[in-house]
Structure 1
Amino acid sequence: MYRRRIGGSFMKWRTIVLPVLTAAALALSAGCSNGGGSADPGTTSSDAKSKVAADTGTPVTLKVAFFSSQDTFKQLTQNPVIKQKFPNVTFQYIKYADLDKAIAAGDAPDLINGIVSALADLEERGLKYDLGPLAKLLDIDLNKFERKKLEGIRSYGRNGELFGLPDNLEETSPYNTFALVYNKDIFDKFAVPYPKDNMTWDEAVDLARQFVRTDGGTEYKGLVAHAAPHFLAAQLGIEFVGADGKVNTSDPKWSELMRVNKRISVEQGGFLPKGGDLTHFYKTQNVAMYAGDAGDLFRSPDKFGASFQWDIATYPVFPGMAPHTVVGPNGGMWAVGATSKHKELALAVLDTILSPDVMKSIPNYDWWNHPNVQSKRLEALKNPNYPTTRANAYMQKYNLKFRAEIAKATESVSKDGVDINTALRTFQESFQKIIDADGVK
Structure 2
Amino acid sequence: MKRVNSYRRLPKQACLAVIGMALMASGCGAKTESPKTEPAQVQAAPEPVTVKFFPTLPFSDEDFDKIVVQPVKKLYPHITIERHRTSLDNILTTGDIPDIIQTHNGELQRYMDLGILSPIDDLVKKHDVDLNRFDPVVIDSLRTEDGKLLGLPYAINFTALYYNKDLFDKFGVPYPKDGMTWLDAIEVGKVMSRQDGGVTYRGLDPENIGRIVRQMGMDYSDSKTMKSTMMNPNWKTMFEIGKAIYTIPGNEVSDVNGDYLKSFFSGTIAMTARVNVLDQLEAPTKQGLNWDLAQYPNIPGIPNVGGDVDPHMLVIPPTAKHRDAAILVAKAMTHDETQLLMVKTTARLSPLKSAANKEAFASEKPYLQGKRLDSIFKNHPIRSPMRTKYFGQTGPIAKEAFKAYVAGTIDLNTALRQADEKINAYLAGQAGK
Structure-1-length-normalised TM-score: 0.73
1:376 equivalent in structure 2: 371
Identify which of 67, 71, 76 aligns with 1:85.
76
**Shift in CA distance, 286/419, structure 1 to aligned 2, threshold 3 Å:** same
CA deviation map 1:277-311 (0-9, x unaligned): 65x254332111111112x31x5653442432222
1:135 equivalent in structure 2: 124
Structure 2 stretches lacking a partner, 5+ long: 1-43, 348-359
Distance 1:277 1:145 in 2: 34
Identify which of 133, 136, 148 aligns with 1:161.
148
1:29 equivalent in structure 2: none
**Shift in CA distance, 338/409, structure 1 to aligned 2, threshold 3 Å:** farther
1:246 equivalent in structure 2: 227
Distance 1:235 1:68 in 2: 26
Instruction: Read off the aligned partner of 2:252 and give its amino acid letter.
Output: G
Identify which of 348, 361, 364 aligns with 1:367.
361
Q: CA deviation at 1:135?
A: 0.7
Q: CA deviation at 1:80?
A: 6.6
**Shift in CA distance, 357/324, structure 1 to aligned 2, threshold 3 Å:** closer
CA contact (8 A) 1:224 1:276 kept: no
| SS in structure 2 at match of 1:153 | coil
CA contact (8 A) 1:176 1:381 kept: no
1:60 equivalent in structure 2: 50
CA deviation map 1:145-203 (0-9, x unaligned): 3334323434xx323332222215xxxxxx97311111111111222221122222222
2:210 equivalent in structure 1: 230
| SS in structure 2 at match of 1:181 | strand
CA contact (8 A) 2:296 2:379 kept: no
2:85 equivalent in structure 1: 94
Pairing 1:285–2:274 present: no
CA deviation map 1:4-25 (0-9, x unaligned): xxxxxxxxxxxxxxxxxxxxxx
Summarize the alignment of residues 37-436 of structure 1 with structure 2, pairs less than 5 Å apart. 57-66=47-56, 67-79=58-70, 81-82=72-73, 85-87=76-78, 89-94=80-85, 98-119=87-108, 122-123=111-112, 125-154=114-143, 157-167=144-154, 177-226=158-207, 228-238=208-218, 240-242=220-222, 243-267=224-248, 268-270=251-253, 272=255, 276=259, 278=261, 280-294=262-276, 296-297=277-278, 302-306=282-286, 307-321=288-302, 323-362=303-342, 363-364=345-346, 366-370=360-364, 371-387=366-382, 390-391=385-386, 395-415=387-407, 417-436=409-428
| SS in structure 2 at match of 1:318 | coil
Structure-2-length-normalised TM-score: 0.74
CA contact (8 A) 1:183 1:288 kept: yes
Distance 1:439 1:118 in 2: 19
CA contact (8 A) 2:68 2:329 kept: no
Percent identity at matched positions? 27
**Shift in CA distance, 359/232, structure 1 to aligned 2, threshold 3 Å:** closer
Which structure is larger by alpha-carbon Rg, 1 or 2? 2
CA deviation map 1:256-285 (0-9, x unaligned): 22212222223223453665265x254332
Distance 1:217 1:125 in 2: 53
| SS in structure 2 at match of 1:219 | strand
1:26 equivalent in structure 2: none
Distance 1:249 1:300 in 2: 34
Distance 1:282 1:301 in 2: 10
CA contact (8 A) 1:81 1:358 kept: no
**Shift in CA distance, 108/261, structure 1 to aligned 2, threshold 3 Å:** farther
Number of matched pairs: 370
Q: RMSD of aligned C-alpha atoms?
A: 3.2
Distance 1:305 1:207 in 2: 23
Q: CA deviation at 1:375?
A: 2.0
CA contact (8 A) 1:312 1:376 kept: yes
| SS in structure 1 at match of 2:252 | coil
CA contact (8 A) 2:72 2:79 kept: no
Distance 1:277 1:123 in 2: 34
Distance 1:184 1:382 in 2: 21
CA contact (8 A) 1:229 1:406 kept: no
Instruction: Read off the aligned partner of 2:191 and give its amino acid letter.
Output: Q
Distance 1:125 1:262 in 2: 37
